[in-house]
Amino acid sequence: MTAIRTARTTAVAGAVLAMSLGGLVTAGPAHAATPPGPLAAKQALSQYTSDNAEVQKRKYEGDAKGGDSERNNCNFYTGFWTARANLRWDHTSAPRTGTINNHQACGTSKGYMYVKAGGAWKKRWTSVKWTSRAWCADFAKYAWYWGKADVSGLNAAADSFRAYGKAHHTWHSKAQVKAGGYRPAPGDVVSYDDNGDGRADHVGVLTSYSSSRKAYHSVEGNTSLERLTYKKSQSATAGRVIGYTTPKAR
């Protein structure tokens, strides 16, 4: 590993503990100009590496007991976005039982949400009822939200990130990466097309990128393992990759 790559990895890992609980930030001076990409990358990685017991449960689908046996699409991140008590409720609903072959009831775990308290919206560490649907986009949107990115226009559809990028002029095609016209960055959302229709059907959040190898590391929800997965050394121009979306600051 080169000194540059080591420094980048250390920079991301160094902030993981502070971000691991979902938007928990250490005290310090405000930096309004800080771009959301690095913050989103740290948030995504922290969801995978945190040693907090409640956050560890989020890696797995099911009953929120921290196991990997249910695989029924029940997950924390969809629960966050579909919680009506949440300031950021996405105005959709999702089942409280599994949506694949396993119809076991979804679980409950704790996390941060802004909820109404004393007539004002306040950040609280509170119970989040897990709900069930394909959740790769819900995870990526969560990382962006707590990374201080603008998430307006995003929804539970993976392709909403491609549409967001085009609307905000932050979409970068695989062809641009191949030609050297764009270098993917931490916090970018990578879009995959697995059925060849030109639309994204899966997304992940980049946590690091090597320009010399044109390869990235990412954290992705609802993978083929039916869990949160940390992927290493993925080719930035692989066949299923269609492009990258950079978050805008809110």
Per-residue pLDDT of the chain (250 residues; tens, 9 = 90+): 444 444 444 444 444 444 445 554 434 455 456 899 999 999 999 999 999 999 999 999 999 998 887 889 999 999 999 999 999 999 999 999 999 889 999 999 999 999 999 999 999 999 999 999 999 999 999 999 999 999 999 999 999 999 999 999 999 999 999 999 999 999 999 999 999 999 999 999 999 999 999 999 999 999 988 899 999 999 999 999 999 999 999 9
Q: What does the pLDDT read at residue 70?
A: 85
- 166: which residues sit within 8 A by CB, 6+ positions away? none
| C-alpha gyration radius of the chain | 17
Q: What angle do CA 245, 86, 41 make, to 5 degrees?
A: 30
Side-chain-side CA neighbours of residue 55 (13 Å):
21
**pTM for this prediction:** 0.87
Residue 249 backbone phi and psi in degrees, to 5: -70, 145
Q: Would you state the pLDDT for residue 225?
A: 85
Domain boundaries defined on the chain: 3-61+134-245
Q: Which residue has the tokens 């059907």?
A: 201
Determine the residue type at 133: R
